Amino acid sequence: MFITRKSVPRRTFLRGLGTTLALPLLDAMVPALSAKSAKPSPRLGFIYIANGVIQDQWNPTAVGTQFDLPAILKPLVPFKGQMNILSGLAHLQADTFGDGTGDHPRASAVWLTGVHAYDRTKPGVEVRLATTADQIAAQHIGKGTQISSIEMSVDAPTQGACDSGDCFYVNTVSWRSPTTPNPAEMQPRVIFERLFGDGGGAASRRALAKNTGSILDSVTQEVGRLANTLGPGDRSKLSEYMDSVREIEQRIQSTESASTQSIDLPERPLDIPESYEEHVKLMFDLQALAFQADITRVFSMIMCRELSSRTYPNIGVTDGHHAVSHHRNDPDLIAKKAKIDTYNVLLFTHFLKKLRDTQDGDGSLLDHSLIMYGGGMGNGNLHRHADLPCLLLGNLGGQFKTGYHLNYPENTPMSNLLVTVLDKVGVRMDKIGDSTGMLQPDPLSVG
């Protein structure tokens, strides 16, 4: 790798044994770029939550900018000025067409497609959906990145019978094409090595860790040479970035050590933390690093899978999530469901803080991102696919005004939001699923 003292190419990589490390945006990279290309790239994230929400504790009572955050969204108070709450949106293609697919699988399938999912268990029915909005965006803004998109989950996939039909559609929200779903990865180690490692099975990784202590040690000399060409500010950025990568690697190694002990490691390491909270934060931290180094600009993450029976004993909810969502207006079950929803929002703020606190060009990663947080079911008790939970965080590099609660007319297609978001990253779509155009009215767009 050749680096001048005048500038550093934006797509600079540090390469070592089994390691390819992209760099964050440094000041020294800007002189090598035109004014147009020096502008930080847009990033998109899509985070799925399941089983609906307690809507009267989710939607603010006032619209516009003068609103108070309701109980479930209280953890987002520090980000109120950087977020938008959209209510009234619907995915009616998730309603039953009498074909047998369950409400929950249809909710997942429709979220980024606007397309109805037919029961694939019936004879003659093809596994077919549509290319999802995240993948349409990845084909455009992901060009030139190391990984066009990342698909993650922190809720284990399910198999067999669902509420009706089968569970195929609840295990991913991302489809590369109408017939090709993207599997959602749960293993932090696999995600880490996709980002920073370029090969080797379990045995070679163990040998590398034994010999070097870290896959990053093999790029130490390159880091030192690069640092000598940088100014004080860039050296500090580089040091902080490397520290963050190493800290995450150590957390993964600690989890593997605790879970495997003397057992011979399989090809896919047993590295999922026992704690749901640690698992969520680790995956969020990996994605924040991927954004920082511009390794990928698009991700999706299933934070909660439809029909999930996960329990949350650490917050006092020992009932399964899906069972609690069918509260039948029982105050105790409503309170438990609201606790789950609030807890997930609280964990989401961990990711938002990472993005907000990470410099990216003339702003932060959060400034240059748009993170959509929500799901394909509104009222989980009644299996309604209207008035969906939908939050937007970040302004996509000034493309959106923020700090609003917008209440759209009843049953406004959520697909219109997908068309609008894609338009803001330069992808013009006449139609996605059941969309009727871009969101109207649209008080959020700048210019």
pLDDT exceeds 80 at position 367: yes
**Predicted confidence (pLDDT) at residue 26 exceeds the cutoff of 80:** no
Query: DSSP string of 324-391?
Result: HH--TT-HHHHHHHHHHHHHHHHHHHHHHHHHHTSEETTEETTTTEEEEEE-S-S-TTTT--SS--EE
H helix intervals, 87-132 = 103-110
User: Nearest Cα to 58, choosing from 82, 79, 88, 81?
Assistant: 88
> Exposed, middle or buried, 359 (CB in 10 Å: 0-12/13-18/19+)?
middle
Region 19-31 average pLDDT: 59
Q: What does the alpha-carbon distance between residue 341 and residue 337 come to, in Å, rounded to a whole number?
A: 6
Give percent of the chain with pLDDT exceeding 90.
57
Going by pLDDT thresholds of 50, 70 and 90, the confidence category of residue 4 is very low
* pLDDT score of 78 more than 60: yes
* pLDDT exceeds 50 at position 36: no
At 264 the pLDDT is 39
CA-closest candidate to residue 173, choices 92, 91, 106, 87: 106
In tens, the pLDDT along 335-364 reads: 999 999 999 999 999 999 999 999 898 899
Rounded CA gap, 323 and 438, in Å? Answer: 36
Q: How far is CA 272 from the centre of its chain?
A: 18
pLDDT band for position 157 (cuts 50, 70, 90): confident
Q: What is the pTM of this model?
A: 0.81
Residue with the bigger pLDDT between 399 and 16: it is: 399
What is the pLDDT of the chain when averaged over all its residues?
83
> Where does the pLDDT of residue 232 fall: very low under 50, low under 70, confident under 90, or very high at 90 and above?
confident
Q: Compare 198 and 428 and report the one with higher pLDDT.
A: 428
Q: Which of 20, 18, 19, 28 is nearest to 9 (CA)?
A: 28
Residues in contact with 224: Cβ distance below 8 Å, sequence separation at least 6, in sequence order:
none
Tokens found for residue 145: 């990145």
State the average pLDDT over residues 54-66.
97
pLDDT value at residue 199: 44
CA-to-CA distance for 283 and 47, rounded, in angstroms?
A: 12
The confidence score (pLDDT) of residue 89 equals 98
44-186+299-447 has which CATH code?
3.40.720
Q: Give dist(CA 118, CA 379) in Å, integer.
A: 22
The domain limits of the chain are 1-38+189-271, 44-186+299-447
CA angle, 53 then 59 then 64, to 5°: 155
Comparing CA positions, the residue from 205, 120, 136, 219 lying closest to residue 169 is 120
Average pLDDT on 320-343 reads 97
Mean pLDDT for the stretch of residues 85-99? 93
pLDDT of residue 396 exceeding 60, the answer is: yes
- Euclidean distance between CA atoms 366 and 354, whole angstroms: 8
Q: What is the pLDDT of residue 257?
A: 52
Is the model's pLDDT at 318 over the cut of 80?
yes
Least confident of 135-149, 199-213, 381-395, 411-425: 199-213
- Is the pLDDT score of 3 beyond 60? no
Residue 87: pLDDT band by 50, 70, 90 thresholds?
very high
Lowest mean pLDDT among 157-171, 187-201, 305-319, 353-367: 157-171
Whether omega before 441 lies within 30 degrees of 0, making that bond cis, reads: yes
Lowest mean pLDDT among 34-38, 120-124, 290-294: 34-38
Q: What percent of the chain has pLDDT over 70?
A: 71
Give the number of other CB atoms < 10 A from CB of residue 50: 27
Region 402-425: mean pLDDT is: 96
Contact 93, 433 (CB under 8 A): yes
Tens of pLDDT, residue by residue over 262-303, are: 333 333 334 688 899 999 999 999 999 899 988 899 999 999
Residue 143: the pLDDT is 83
Q: Look at residue 213 and tell me whether its pLDDT is greater than 60.
A: no
Q: What is the pLDDT of residue 118?
A: 77
Compute the CA torsion angle 280, 283, 288, 289 (nearest 10 deg).
Answer: 150
